[in-house]
Amino acid sequence: MSSALPNFLPFTRPTIDEETIAAVGDVLRSGWITSGPKALEFEDALSALFGGRPVRAFNSGTITLEIALQLAGVGPGDEVITTPLSWVSTANVVLHLGARPVFVDTDPHTRNIDLERIEAAITPRTKAIIPVDLAGLPVDRDRLYAIARRHQLRVVEDAAQSLGASWNGRPIGSTGDFVSFSFHANKNLTTCEGGALVLPDDISPALCERLRLQGVQRLDGGEIEVEVAGHKGNLTDVAAAVGLGQLKHLDAFTARRRALARRYFERLDPTLGLGLPPADFVNSNWHMFQVLLPLDRMRMSRADFIAHLRERNIGAGVHYPAMHLFALYRGLGYREGNFPIAERISRSTLTLPLFPAMQDADVDAVCANIADLLRNAAQ
C-alpha cells in the first residue's frame, strides 16, 4: 500500500550539525574569512585521510580537474579519454585546455567507463584518461592503471562522487595519479561549494598553488612574480570550516548510506523490471542509488514518472544525460548511436532519495510508491 509522504523528501540533503554551524560563526567573527588557517587545516586533515599524500583545496571540483590536466601537460591538440556518463564538467575542462574529449562507452553492469574499450580509443594524441566513479562506485583501479602504464598515459581520477569509497581496502585518494574530489552541496562531504586535488609525487604542490591563485608566486621581500596564467580557485576558510565539521562524520555518513542502500535492495520488488545498481557494500560509498526504469514496459515517460513521484512528495533525479548528445558535443561530431549502452542507461536512469538523515521508513515509502506507479504504468 502506498501513499503520499507528509513532507517532501528530496533525493539528497546535506547533514550539517550545530558544532559545524558554530565553527562557521567563529570564522566569520575572526576577521579572516578567505583562504587562511582553516583552509590549511582542512588540507592537512584530507592529507591524513589519504595516507599523507599532498592535497590542495579548491573552490570547486571542476577547477581541480582542469588544473590536474594542466599539471599533466594536456594542451591544444591532445586527446583525453573519458565516459559520456558524468556531469558535463568532466568533458568541458578538456575543451577549456584546447584538447578533445574522446568518449568511450560504459560497462552495462557498473555503468562506469568500459575498461575493455579504452585501448581501442587510444591514438598518438592521447595524453590522459579521466575515469569517473559514477554514484560512488569506483572504477577498477588495477585494470585502469595497467592500461595507463602500458600506454604511458596520465590518469586524472574524477572521484567527485567517491569520497569515502575504497579500492582493495584503501581509500580512494590514497593511491593513484591525480585524484579530484568535489564538495558540492549534494556530495557525501560538503563545503557548500568546493573540491580538493590529491597530487602525485612528480608534481610540485607549489606549482599547483600558483595555478590555483592567478599564477602568483611570492618572492622574498613581499614581491610577487607571475610566470603562468593561473585561475581563481582558492577555498575560503568559511567553506573549510564546514568541511572540517563534515570530516568528523564521514565514516558515519558512509555507513548510513550503505545501510539505506541495503534496505532499498530488500524493499524494491524484483518482479517489476527495475534495473538495480551493483550491490557493492565494500568499495562503494553509495553517493547515489540509481535504478533503471523499464521504459519498454511502461505507458508513461520517465518525466511523467518523476512528476507522479513529486505529487507524492518524493524527489528524484536523472544523473546523467549522456553528454555526447548535448549540442556542444554534437558540434564535435558525436551523434546518437555512438555509445548505445551509455545512451540506454542515460534515458532510463532514476536517482532515488539517499542521504544520511533519511529514516528507514522513508526508504520503505519510496519503494512502495515506486511499486504502485510501476504497476499502474505497466503496458
| CA-angle at 241, arms to 157 and 198, nearest 5° | 20
Dihedral sign of CA atoms 187, 188, 190, 196 in order: negative
Q: How many CB atoms lie within 10 A of CB 272?
A: 17
Count Cβ atoms within 10 A of the Cβ of residue 74 and give its class: 0-12 exposed, 13-18 middle, 19 or more buried.
buried
C-alpha cell at 152: 604511458
Residue 287, sorted as left (phi over 0), alpha (psi -120 to 50) or beta, turns out to be alpha
Q: Are 232 and 213 in contact (CB under 8 A)?
A: yes
Mark whether 187 is an active-site residue: yes
CA distances from 166 to 73, 126, 162, 259, 277 (A): 28, 28, 8, 17, 17
Alpha-helical (H) ranges within the chain are: 18-30, 37-49, 61-71, 89-96, 115-121, 141-151, 205-212, 237-247, 250-267, 302-311, 327-330, 340-348, 360-377
DSSP state of 154: E
Residue 152, sorted as left (phi over 0), alpha (psi -120 to 50) or beta, turns out to be left
CA distance 354 to 101: 31
Catalytic option among 38, 127, 187, 248: 187
C-alpha cell at 160: 567527485
Which active-site residues does the annotation give?
A: 187
